[in-house]
Amino acid sequence: MARTAEKESKTTGELIDKVVKIKRCAAVVKGGRRFSFAAMVVVGNGNGRVGWGYGKANEVPPAVEKAVKCGTRNQMDIELADSTIPHTVKGQFGAAKVILVPASPGTGVIAGAAVRAVCEAAGIHDILTKSFGSNNSVTLVKATIAALEQLRSRGEIERLRGVALT
């Protein structure tokens, strides 16, 4: 049985961490049921760095702590253009597909809970998104991260192609 947590957000020092999902698992033992918990957390600095972490423990707070530690270790840099992304990208993980489209200033983050957590942790303030396929929040987070990995700046594309874009 999976249980979604209230989307809590904490700022530790300079890092923003958002709990995306908490899952409860029951093992039947001689004395009854023994519960364990798994937490999916998105960690970012709000300025172009984002990562995700997954932690498991017998109680919720240690699971979230482990997930934050894992997410902090697995952060990556993404390319931003002011408060949005430089260009449209598509990301996929398993059956989850996500399209991220840049938006004009003042639009806000138009996204579901899982994709919104990633965008806000990364420091994206204006973006349009659409998800297809699976609506599992864990795979949506991974698909969003996969999409953000594909972002390139205009200068980087010019350098890679060896031409000047006008």
pLDDT tens-place string over residues 105-139: 999 999 999 999 999 999 999 999 999 999 999 99
- Please state, in angstroms and rounded to a whole number, the distance separating the CA atoms of residues 52 and 42: 4
SS3 30: coil
Q: How many CB atoms lie within 10 A of CB 56?
A: 14
CATH number of 78-161: 3.30.230.10
Q: Identify the residue with better confidence: 107 or 165.
A: 107
CATH 3.30.230.10 placement within the chain: 78-161
Percent of the chain topping pLDDT 90: 75
Q: Is the pTM of this model over 0.75?
A: yes
What is the reported pLDDT for 156?
A: 86
Where exactly does CATH 3.30.160.20 map onto the chain?
A: 2-76
CATH number for region 2-76? 3.30.160.20
Q: What is the mean pLDDT of residues 29-43?
A: 95
Q: What is the pLDDT of residue 3?
A: 45
